[in-house]
């Protein structure tokens, strides 16, 4: 029998083994999109709302790298600025639902009595409300815009995190290290937050990464049907909606770019999320 010994490799090679080439590609795509969106005010070649009626529906060229829309606005600049809105929503939802879900999941998984059962039932119930439906109900209540859907989707994604955290905590609870801390008389909050929580982060992180893609697609869809961001603010979904007239007239590019970016980002996020969950040992599947 041979023993495989993994020697630490020198230099950058070490990081090469960290992720598969596909995940590196996905990470690069995500990084470029985030960078361009984040620094849009500095990097964008044009004012995204500058209307140039002499230059309507121009193709890609030196002046406008990706062309212009039906009002002569620079598509690249609009994509970059729209990215700020498109990425901000999912970021808030994912952070909110992860924090809330972790807390609820920890409580539900740790308490052996009725509390865990009640919380488990609550998660089951929340699963019956699809996120997009919850977002639309919230918009009907609080009006159009990003506030209502972000609030609703944060709640809608809590059970995905919480149920996972709960099942992980139940498994952790019976492991020797937890028993040892208990026997030694460490306080429960310290054990749970200081020792159990860190063990949940990788798996929950993978789930939350996947959630990011779904939220981004749903928020873009809401903007697309006119219930999300309202003009003059724009995001990728709203850009596709604005371009429908041009599309039916045979000008595909104004709708193509934002659609491509949405799909690219969702694919990239999925690839990263799946890579993460594979590394943890496929606990998500």
Partner 1 sequence: MTATDHVQAPAPALPTRKREKGKATRPAMYILKKLLALVLTLFVASLAVFFSRFLVPGDPARFLLRGRSPKPEALEEITRQFGLDKPAWEQYLNWLGGILQGDWGRSLTYRQDVSDVLLGRLPTTLQLVALAAVFITVLGLFAGIVASLNKGFGDRFILITLTAAGAVPPFVAAIALVALFSVGLGWFPSFGSGDGGWDRIWHLTLPALALGITYIAMVARVTRSSMNEQLLREHVEVATSRGLTRGSVVARHVLRNALGPILTVSGVLVAGLLVSSAIIERTFGLSGIGQLLVQSIDRLDFGVVQAIVMVVVAAFVLVNTVVDLVQPLIDPRIAAGTESR
Which tokens go with 26? 């996905």
Give the residue with the Cβ less far from partner 1, 46 or 258: 258
For the bound state, the minimum distance from the C-beta of residue 14 to partner 1, rounded and expressed in Å, comes to 27
Nearer to partner 1, 61 or 130 (CB): 130
Instruction: State the Cα–Cα distance between residues 190 and 179, nearest whole angstrom.
Output: 13
> Closest approach of Cβ 141 to partner 1, in Å?
5
The values of phi and psi at residue 74, to 5°, are: -70, 120
52 exposure class (CB count in 10 Å sphere: 0-12, 13-18, 19+): middle
Q: Which is nearer to partner 1, 44 or 272 (CB)?
A: 272
Q: How far is CA 201 from the centre of its chain?
A: 16
Nearer to partner 1, 46 or 274 (CB): 274
Q: Give the nearest distance from C-beta 245 to partner 1 in angstroms.
A: 12
Find the shortest distance in angstroms from Cβ 241 to partner 1: 9
| Number of residues in the chain | 285
Cβ pair 207, 269 in contact under 8 A: no
**Between 41 and 282, whose beta carbon lies closer to partner 1?**
282
Supply the minimum distance, in Å, between the C-beta of residue 63 and partner 1. Answer: 25
Q: Least distance to partner 1 from the beta carbon of 178, Å? A: 15
Q: What is the spatial distance between Cα 172 and Cα 204, in angstroms, rounded to a whole number?
A: 14
Q: Nearest distance from residue 236's CB to partner 1, in Å?
A: 9
> 167 vs 233, which CB is nearer to partner 1?
167
Are 117 and 96 in contact, with CB atoms under 8 Å apart? no
Q: Which residues bind partner 1 (CB under 8 A)?
A: 120, 124-125, 127-130, 132-133, 136-137, 139-142, 144, 159-160, 163-164, 166-167, 170-171, 207, 210, 213-214, 217-218, 220-221, 224-227, 237, 240, 244, 247-248, 250, 252, 255-256, 259, 262-263, 266-267, 270-271, 274, 277-278, 284-285
**Between 176 and 250, CB nearer to partner 1:** 250
Give the C-alpha separation, 274 to 269, whole Å: 9
Nearest residue (CB) to partner 1, 48 versus 258 = 258
The least CB distance from residue 274 to partner 1, in Å, is 5
Question: Are the C-beta atoms of residues 131 and 218 closer than 8 Å to each other?
Answer: yes
């Amino acid at each position: 029998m041979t023993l495989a010994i993994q020697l630490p490799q020198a230099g950058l090679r070490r990081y090469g083994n960290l992720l598969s080439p596909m995940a590196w590609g996905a990470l690069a795509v995500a990084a470029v999109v985030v960078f361009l969106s984040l620094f849009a005010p500095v990097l964008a070649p044009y004012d995204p709302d500058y209307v140039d009626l002499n230059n309507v529906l121009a193709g890609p060229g030196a002046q406008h790298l990706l062309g212009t829309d039906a009002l002569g606005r620079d598509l690249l600049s609009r994509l970059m600025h729209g990215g700020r809105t498109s990425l901000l929503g999912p970021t808030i939802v994912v952070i909110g639902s992860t924090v809330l879900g972790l807390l609820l999941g920890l409580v539900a998984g740790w308490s052996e009595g009725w509390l865990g059962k009640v919380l488990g039932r609550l998660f089951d119930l929340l699963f019956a409300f699809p996120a997009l439906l919850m977002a639309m109900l919230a918009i009907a209540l609080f009006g159009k815009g990003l506030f209502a859907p972000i609030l609703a989707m944060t709640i809608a994604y809590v059970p995905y995190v919480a149920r996972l955290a709960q099942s992980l905590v139940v498994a952790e609870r019976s492991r020797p290290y937890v028993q040892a801390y208990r026997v030694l008389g460490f306080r429960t909050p310290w054990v749970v937050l200081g020792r159990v929580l860190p063990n949940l982060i990788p798996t929950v992180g993978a789930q939350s990464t996947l959630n990011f893609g779904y939220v981004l697609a749903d928020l873009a869809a809401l903007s697309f049907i006119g219930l999300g961001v309202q003009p003059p603010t724009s995001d990728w979904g709203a850009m596709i909606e604005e371009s429908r007239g041009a599309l039916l007239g045979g000008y595909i590019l104004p709708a193509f770019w934002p659609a491509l970016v949405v799909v690219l980002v969702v694919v990239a996020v999925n690839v990263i999320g799946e890579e993460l969950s594979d590394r943890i040992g496929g606990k998500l599947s």
